[in-house]
């Protein structure tokens, strides 16, 4: 078991890998607020306390919110204002977000507040970290954010739990009251002071968290796509020549270079490829084989762009208003999610194309007129049996769904709050649909891995390469080999799980070492 290491908020930038690890394995990292950060927060907090006692208008401190910004709040009501804000904004609907999504949101918000520009007391951040430490996960409904003014509704559901109100996720993912969980762990409900309710909800941390987890999933998936392609190249008697370094160097996009290098290593010393290297059976392979590195490489470069955007966001202070180092209080537009929305939309396009080119290889594997001697639909007795015929239908349906999900959410602004918030990013929706696209693409690659494994079986006694052969053996250890038709859905579900959990990628990497 890996040793637990400590992340000090405010002392060091929050790394994408740490955010993802805490979301998925919360016991792996201990997150704490750095002592020197607490001192900075206290100094900024003193300024907010001073402002909250004054008569001059300061948004969200002595005034209402959104379209109610012109409404002055009397001094005795300014603490109640913060609790009222959180209660009213916790207005989400729909099924709850998965636990890793919420953990990532909580850490991302704590990290942003720790930058020291929101004017909250250290105890606010400590309360977020306490819930994380005890794995008390707020119940955050799926719908409610427009991706501007921050992810208001989702973050308000988290903020409400800090005060002992609202819902947490029960063991069966049903809503349960928060207060008993806090009592059970000895956590005092948080009494919000001036501006703290606003600071808890006015951030892009929902979008950022969802995008972070999507980037991690995409990184694994794009490597798996290289594995699936290499298996299909073998099964279809394709060539490894287009992936040669001297060919790729003529057009040196970083992602394409990495993808091509992966496929070269995956196909190294393949008896199947060697058996027809000098055969004139094909002048050149179809695009879905020959151009994989260019398509997957473009997707990888898109992922790099998204990760760069995310890296900047994780080092940012996202709030409105902000308390500057010189003591000024200024309204900002930094809560607008457009950078994250664009990145999520762009990555959805990349994911759709990974699925699209994989679907084309599946079709080729199943068609006896184009599969270089493989039986129709990869069944030993086509006609009596249909083999993987309808598995391709499923892959095609998933590819069509990926295309639908590739339509940008970020151009669908709807004005709200009596036209005060008249342009929004829809970045939350962009991030949600990105996760749906990743799910669809995972399933497409599962169908390809199964089909390519069966293709390898029909190429025996020729042996595959070490990397591709290890994956085929993994699959055959879990599902039956090609034969008479069986109930196919459980077989597809099994291979899907092997792809989703990283077992397919791990099998290849155990055989040939880490892929780029």
The residues that are catalytic are 59
Pairing of strands 322-323, 329-330: antiparallel
SS3 197: helix
- How far does CA 479 lie from the centroid of its chain? 29
* Burial class of residue 134, CB neighbours in 10 A (0-12, 13-18, 19+): middle
| Burial environment of residue 17 by CB neighbours within 10 A (0 to 12, 13 to 18, 19 or more) | exposed
Question: Within 13 Å, how many C-alpha atoms sit on residue 277's CB side?
Answer: 12
Cα Rg, the chain, nearest whole Å: 26
**Omega within 30 of 0 (cis) for the link into 110:** no
Integer CA distances (angstroms), 201 to 129, 205, 361, 448, 471, in order? 16, 9, 46, 43, 45
Cβ proximity of 298 and 352 under 8 Å: no
Kindly write down the DSSP assignment for every residue of 221-253, as one continuous string.
Answer: HHHHHHHHHHHHHHHTT--SGGG-HHHHTTS--
Question: For residue 389, how many other CB atoms are within 10 A of its CB?
Answer: 16
Q: How many beta carbons lie within 10 A of that of residue 67, not counting itself?
A: 13
444: alpha, beta or left? (left if phi > 0; alpha if psi -120 to 50): alpha
Asked if residue 321 has a cis previous peptide bond (ω within 30° of 0), the answer is: yes
Alpha-carbon distance values, 223 to 32, 244, 406, 441 (Å): 33, 18, 20, 13
Distance (Å, whole) CA 463 – CA 271: 5
What letter would DSSP give residue 373?
S
- The continuous run of DSSP H or E covering 168 comes out as strand 167-169
């Amino acid at each position: 078991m890996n040793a637990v290491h400590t992340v000090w908020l405010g002392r060091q930038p929050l790394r994408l890998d740490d955010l993802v690890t805490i979301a998925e394995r919360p016991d792996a990292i201990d997150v704490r607020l750095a002592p020197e950060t607490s001192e900075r927060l206290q100094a900024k907090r003193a300024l907010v306390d001073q402002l909250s006692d004054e008569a001059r208008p300061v948004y969200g401190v002595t005034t209402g919110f959104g379209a109610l910004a012109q409404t002055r709040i009397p001094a005795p009501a300014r603490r109640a204002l913060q609790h009222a804000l959180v209660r009213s904004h916790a207005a989400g609907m729909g099924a709850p977000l998965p636990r890793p999504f919420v953990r990532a949101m909580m850490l991302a918000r704590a990290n942003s507040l720790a930058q020291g520009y929101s004017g909250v007391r250290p105890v606010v951040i400590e309360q977020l970290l306490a819930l994380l430490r005890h794995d008390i996960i707020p119940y955050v409904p799926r719908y409610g954010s427009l991706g501007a003014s921050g992810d208001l509704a989702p973050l308000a559901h988290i903020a409400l739990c800090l005060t002992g109100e609202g819902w947490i996720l029960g063991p069966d993912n049903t809503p349960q009251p928060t207060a008993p969980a806090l009592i059970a762990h000895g956590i005092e409900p948080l009494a919000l002071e001036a501006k703290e309710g606003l600071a808890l909800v006015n951030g892009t941390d929902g979008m950022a968290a969802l995008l972070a987890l999507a980037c991690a999933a995409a990184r694994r998936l794009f490597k798996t796509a290289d594995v699936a392609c290499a298996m299909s190249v073998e099964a279809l008697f394709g060539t490894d020549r287009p992936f040669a370094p001297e060919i790729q160097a003529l057009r040196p996009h970083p992602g394409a270079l990495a993808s091509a290098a992966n496929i070269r290593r995956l196909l190294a010393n393949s008896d199947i490829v060697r058996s027809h290297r000098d055969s004139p059976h094909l002048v050149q392979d179809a695009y879905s084989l020959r151009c994989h590195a260019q398509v997957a490489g473009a997707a990888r470069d898109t992922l790099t762009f998204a990760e760069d955007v995310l890296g900047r966001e994780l080092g940012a202070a996202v709030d409105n208003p902000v308390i500057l180092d010189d003591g000024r209080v200024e309204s900002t537009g930094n809560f607008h999610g457009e950078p994250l929305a664009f990145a999520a939309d762009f990555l959805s396009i990349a994911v759709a194309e990974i699925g699209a080119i994989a679907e084309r290889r599946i079709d080729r594997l199943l068609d006896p007129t184009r599969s270089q001697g493989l039986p129709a639909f990869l069944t030993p007795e086509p006609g009596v049996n249909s083999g993987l015929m309808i598995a391709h239908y499923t892959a095609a349906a998933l590819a069509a769904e990926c295309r639908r999900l590739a339509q940008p959410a970020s151009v669908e602004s709807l004005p709200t709050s009596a036209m005060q918030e008249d342009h929004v990013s829809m970045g939350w929706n962009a991030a949600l649909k990105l996760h749906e696209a990743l799910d669809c693409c995972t399933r497409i690659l599962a169908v390809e891995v199964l089909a390519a494994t069966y293709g390898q079986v029909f190429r025996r006694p020729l042996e595959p390469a070490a990397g591709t052969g290890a994956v085929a053996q993994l699959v055959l250890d879990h599902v039956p080999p090609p034969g008479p038709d069986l109930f196919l859905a459980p077989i597809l579900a099994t291979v899907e799980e092997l792809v989703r959990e990283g077992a397919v990628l791990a099998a290849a990497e155990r055989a040939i070492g880490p892929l780029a």
